[in-house]
Structure 1
Amino acid sequence: MAERIKVLVLDDDPTGSQTVHSCPLLLRWDPGSLRQALLHPSPLLFLLANTRALDPQAAEQRVRRICHALKPALAEAQAAGLMDRWLIVSRGDSTLRGHFPLELEVIDQELGPFASTLLVPAFLPGGRTTKEGMHLLHGEPVHATAFAQDRLFGFSSSFLPAWVEEKTAGQTLAASVRQISCSDLEAAPEALRERLAALPPASIACVDAERPEQLTALGEAIWACERQGQRFALQSAASLINGLVPLPPQPLDASGLAGLRRGPALPGLVLVGSHVPLADAQLTTLLAEPACIGIELDVRKVARVVFGPERHRLLASLEQSWRQQIETVISEGHTPVVFTSRGELHCSSPAERRELGVELAQLMARLAGALAPQLGYVISKGGITTHTLLESGLKAPWVELQGQLFAGLSLVLTPEGLPVITFPGNLGDASSLRQAWTLMQQP
C-alpha cells in the first residue's frame, strides 16, 4: 500500500498555491474545518494565514493559533489511519518579503523540534532562481528590484546567507549559513540525503535551484530523511511544494478553466490592490481595453476618513458612491476595474500604514461581496486584497484550487461556485492582467 502523506502549507498570502491544483485552501482552522480538510484526498492542504498583512505580534499570534489547532487534528488523523506522515511548510514570498524568521520560530516551538532549516525561495515559473546563494529575478539580483524597497519587508542583499543575517538582526551570521548547491541536488540520491543529514543541529541552509528536477530531488531527499527521523523546518516559495508532492498535469487547460465562469452572461469584476510597479503597468494595459472601465479608490481620501472624525459614517458614504459607480459600469455592459490610487502614501508609522492597508482591502472586499451574486468571476490582484476578498468579502471558509490559467496564476472556486483568479502582485509582465481578463471573458 502506498504511503499516505500530507504536506501542510502555512501560506503567508493566498497566492502560494500557484504551482499546484485540486486541493483545498482553508481560511479557517477550527476543529471541524480542519477535520473536514484533512479528509480531502489531496496530499496537499493550504492554510491561508495571510500573515504578510499583519504586524509581527499579530503574525506570531496567528501562526501560534494555527499550530495549536493543527496539533490535535493531525494526531487524530494519524490515529484514524488517514495519513502516515506529514510535513509542514512555511510558504513565503519568492521576492523575499515576509516575517522571517518569526513564523518558523513559532512553528518550531509548537510542532517541532526540527533538526535544521531549509530556505528554498525559488519560484521557477516566475523566473525566481537561486544560483551560488544569490537569489535572482529573471537573472537580476532581487535586492536591485522594487520588491526589496518594500517599506515593511525591505532588504539590502540578494546573497541568501547575508539576507539571513540581516533578517535575524545578526543572531545568525552569514558565515554560519550552509549552502546546498545545484551540484549537490544533482548528485546521487544517497549523497544528497547524506548532505542534508550532515547539516549541524539548528542550522540554516540556503538551497540553490534553477530547474524543477533539482527540487524534485530535494523533495525526495527530505522525505527520505523524514523516514529516518530527521525533520526539517521548511521555508520556501511555491516551487518546492511540487518537489515534495509530484502532481499529474492539471486536469483542465486554460480554455477549460475559463469555462468555469459562472453564467456566461454574468459580468466580471477586477480588483487591483497591489501597488508594485508591475501591477501599475498591468493596470495601465488593462484599462486601455475599451470594455474595461476604471474606478479609482482615492487612497488619500480614504486615509483622511480613516484617521479623522466620523470615520464610519464618511467611509460608508464613500463606499456607497463607489458601489453605485460599479453598478453603473456593469449595467452598461462593461467590466469594472476597481483599483486603489497608485503610489505609496506616506504614513507616520508602520502601524498606521498597516491600518490603512487593511481598511482599503476591507473596502474592496465589501464592494465585491455585495455584488458577488450577480458576478460571473472575479480577478483579484494582490495577496492581501485577495485574502480579504475571500475571507471577509465572500465569507468563504475554504476554496477549492482548480489549477492555473497560466504559469503562477491560479483559479479557485468558492463553495457557491464563484471563480476567483488569485493574481500575485509580482507575477507576469505588463500584458498578463489583460490576458487573464481576456481568458475569463470567454463564454
Structure 2
Amino acid sequence: MGESRPQAGSYVNRPMSTNTMPLTPTTRIIVIDDDPTGSQTVHGCLLLTRWDVDTLAEALTDDSPLFFVLSNTRGMSATEAAAVTREICVNLREALRRLADAGQAIRPVVVSRSDSTLRGHYPVETDVIAEELGPFDAHFLVPAFFEGGRITRDGVHYLLVDGQPVPVNETEFASDSVFGYRHAFLPDYVAEKTAGRITADQVERFGLTDIRSDIGGRLRALHGNVCCVVDAECQADLDGFARQVLAAAGEGRRFLFRSAASLLTAFAGLPPQPVAPDAMSRFVRNGRAGVVLVGSHVAKSTRQLQTLIDTTDVLPIEIDLERLLDEEAALRRDLLERLAAAQAENRGVVLYTSRGERQFPTKAERLAFGERVSGLLVDIVRDLPREIGFLVSKGGITSNDTLSKGLALRTARVLGQIHPGCSVVRCPDDHPRFPGLPTVIFPGNVGGDGALADVYRILAGPA
C-alpha cells in the first residue's frame, strides 16, 4: 500500500518533492506555528498573524496547498499558549463550517509546527488541538529538519555538529530555562513532557526501516490518538512517510502532527522557488542600506552576529538591556537617533540585544522580561527610518513580533528562502510606512557561523 496512490477526490493536484503524490484543491495543510520560522522550506504560501474567521477562510481558499497561522506561543506561558491555540482551533472550525455551507468543503491536515530542537509547549498545544478538532487516530512527533542538521535515528533525535550527530539533550537547547528537557530518545522525551501520562512503552516507533517500506496497514490500525515518533535522515524518508500518511488520510484516517519544517516540504510538494537565493537582492528598495535586528540570544546567534560584525561593513549598535529596566524611553530615543544617522549615510546597521540569557527566579519572570524586550524591539521596528532597503529579523519570537506588531502585517506571502531555513517576505505595496520592504525571517538556531553575514552580503551587495 506504501507505493499506491489515493483515490480520486482525496489528495490530487501537486506532486510531492521527490515523488508523485498529489493534493486536491479541497485539501489544505494548516500549520499552527509557534513562531514564524516554520515556512523555512516552502514558498508561495501565506503567513497569518491574525486568526479571525474571515482571515482563516481567505487562507483556506488560497491557491497554495498550505498556510501558516503564526501563534507565537513559544514566547508565552503554557496557559496563554493553550488559550491562543484554542482560539485558533475554534475559529478554524467555524471557517471550515462556513465554507462547507457555501459548497467549498475543505479537508484539513493539521500540523502543530514547533522547534526542531524540541523546545515548545508539548503536549499542551497538541492536547488542545485534539480537544477542539479531534478525535484523531494518532499524533506524530516528526522533529527532523534537514536544512538545520537535525535527524532522528533509532528513536533518538540528533543535531549534526561539524558533521557528527550529537543527541539534542547534550546541546545548549536542552538547557533552555523554559523548555529544558533531559531526553533525546523520543519515547522518553514524551514520557517526560507528559509527566508519565503517556509512558515510553506506549509510544509507537516508526523507524527508518519502517518508513522506507510499506506502513499502510500499520497506519490504518492506529486509534485513540496514540503517540507515534518518526525517524528520518533525509528528505526522501519524509516524502515516503508523507505519501503513505496522506493515502491513509484520504481513506478517512485522522492524524495530527507535531513537526519541524521538513515534513511540510513533503506534504506541500512544491516546485523549486521562482527566485534564486542569490537573486533576492532584486527586492531591496532603491539600493538602500538595511537593518539587521538580532533578538535571539542562543550561542549560535551570538557567533553569527560576531562574524557579521567582523567580516562586513555593518555598523554594530548594542541594545543595553540593563538600561531597559531603568530608562526605557531614553534608550529607545538614543537607538532611533543612531539608526536615523546611519540611514542618512546609507550605512547598514545591526541592532542587537545584550548577549547571554539572563537568569530569573521563575519562568514567569523570565517570560515577562522577554515580553518587555519584545515590546522595545516592536517600537523600534515601527519607527525605523522609512527609507531602509531591507530588514533581517534574527530569532523566532523577534520575527513574529516584527511581522505582526512592528510591521503590522495581517498576512504575508513567502517569496522563498535566501539561505537554507531563512524565508523572505515582503510588505504590501500599499503599506503605510514600508511599501514593498523585503524582510528575512532568520531563526535563532539555523545556519553556520557565517550564515548571517552571507545573508547580509546578498542584500547589501559588495562593501
TM-score by length of structure 1 reads 0.94
Q: Give identity over the alignment, percent.
A: 40
Report the number of matched residues: 430
Amino acid at match of 1:227: G
Q: Which whole-Å CA distance do the structure 2 matches of 1:156 and 1:217 have between them?
A: 30
Match of 2:211, as an amino acid? L
Give structure 1 stretches of 5+ with no counterpart: 306-313
- Equivalence for 2:205: 179
Mapped partners of 1:232, 1:396: distance in 2: 31
- RMSD of aligned Cα (Å): 1.5
1:299–1:345 Cα contact (<8 Å) kept? no
Partner of 1:10: 32
Q: CA deviation at 1:83?
A: 5.1
1:23 maps onto 2:45 in alignment: yes
Structure 2 unaligned regions, length at least 5? 1-8, 13-23, 429-434
* 1:45 corresponds to which of 49, 63, 67: 67
Matched, 1:36 2:58: yes
| Structure 1: distance between partners of 2:250 and 2:260 | 24
Matched, 1:277 2:290: no
- Worse-superposed segment, 192-201 or 59-68: 192-201
Greater Cα offset, 269-278 or 220-229: 220-229
Which residue of 1 is the match for residue 379 of structure 2?
366
SS at 1:106 equivalent: helix
- After superposition, what is the alpha-carbon deviation per residue over 1:318-362, rounded to whole angstroms, capped at 9, x for unaligned? 211111112122223321111010112222321111111111122
Sort the Cα spacing of 1:28 and 1:442 in 2 relative to 1 into closer, same or farther, 3 A. Answer: same
Q: Secondary structure at 1:326's aligned position in 2?
A: helix
Are positions 1:410 and 2:423 aligned together?
A: yes
Partner of 1:207: 230
Aligned to 1:318: 331
Distance 1:84 1:67, change over 3 A: closer
Partner SS for 1:22: coil
Q: Does residue 1:218 correspond to 2:241, yes or no?
A: yes
Q: Are 1:193 and 2:206 matched, yes or no?
A: no
> 1:165 maps to which residue?
191
The equivalent position to 2:274 in structure 1, one of 251, 261, 282, is 251
- Whole-Å Cα distance in 2 between the matches of residues 46 and 163 of structure 1? 26
Q: Distance in 2 between matches of 1:96 and 1:386?
A: 19
Distance 1:361 1:426 in 2: 18
Verify the 8 A CA contact 1:160 1:206 in the aligned structure 2. yes
Instruction: Verify: 1:91 aligned to 2:106, yes or no.
Output: no
Contact 1:177 1:203 in 2 (8 A): yes
SS in 2 for 1:99: coil
Is 1:140 paired with 2:166? yes
AA aligned to 2:251 is Q
Q: Say whether residues 1:330 and 2:349 are aligned partners.
A: no
CA distance in 1, matches of 2:130, 2:257: 10
The verdict on how the C-alpha distance between 1:39 and 1:262 changes in structure 2, with shifts beyond 3 A counting, is farther
SS at match of 1:374: coil
Pairwise CA distance, 1:84: 4.3
Q: Which amino acid aligns with 2:342?
A: V
Q: Aligned match of 1:341 in 341, 354, 360?
A: 354
Contact between 1:400 and 1:413, CA under 8 Å: does it hold in 2? yes
Identify if the C-alpha distance between structure 1 residues 323 and 348 changes in structure 2 by more than 3 Å, giving closer, same or farther.
Answer: same
Deviations 1:165-204 (A, max 9, x none): 11111111111111001111111xxx31112122352311
* Aligned AA (1:420): T
SS of the residue 1:373 aligns to: coil
Structure 2 equivalent of residue 435 of structure 1: 454
In the TM superposition, structure 1's runs of 4+ consecutive aligned residues that sit over 6 Å from their partners are none
Of 350, 364, 367, 1:351 maps to 364
Report the AA paired with residue 367 of structure 1: I
Amino acid in the other structure paired with 2:443: P
Query: How far apart are the structure 2 equivalents of 1:207 and 1:48?
Result: 25
Distance 1:372 1:87, change over 3 A: farther
* Corresponding residue for residue 311 of structure 1: none
- Give yes or no for contact 1:178–1:204 (8 Å, CA) kept in 2: yes
Aligned to 1:63: 85
C-alpha distance in structure 2 between counterparts of 1:351 and 1:157, whole Å: 24
Deviation at 1:372, TM superposition (A): 5.4
Alignment-derived partner of residue 76 in structure 2: 54
TM-score by length of 2: 0.90
Measure the CA separation in 2 of the matches of 1:354 and 1:362.
12
Letter in 1 for 2:408: K
Q: Write the distance in 1 (CA, Å) between the matches of 2:234 and 2:340.
A: 46
- Cα distance in 1 for partners of 2:265, 2:315 equals 38
What displacement does 1:400 show?
Answer: 0.8
Amino acid in structure 1 at the alignment position of 2:210? D
Which of 224-233 and 158-167 deviates more? 224-233
- The 1-side partners of 2:238 and 2:106 are apart by 22
Query: For 1:348-390, what per-residue CA distance to the aligned partner results, in whole angstroms no more than 9, with x for missing partners?
Result: 3211111111111221121122115221110010001011111
Query: 1:298 — aligned with what?
Result: 320
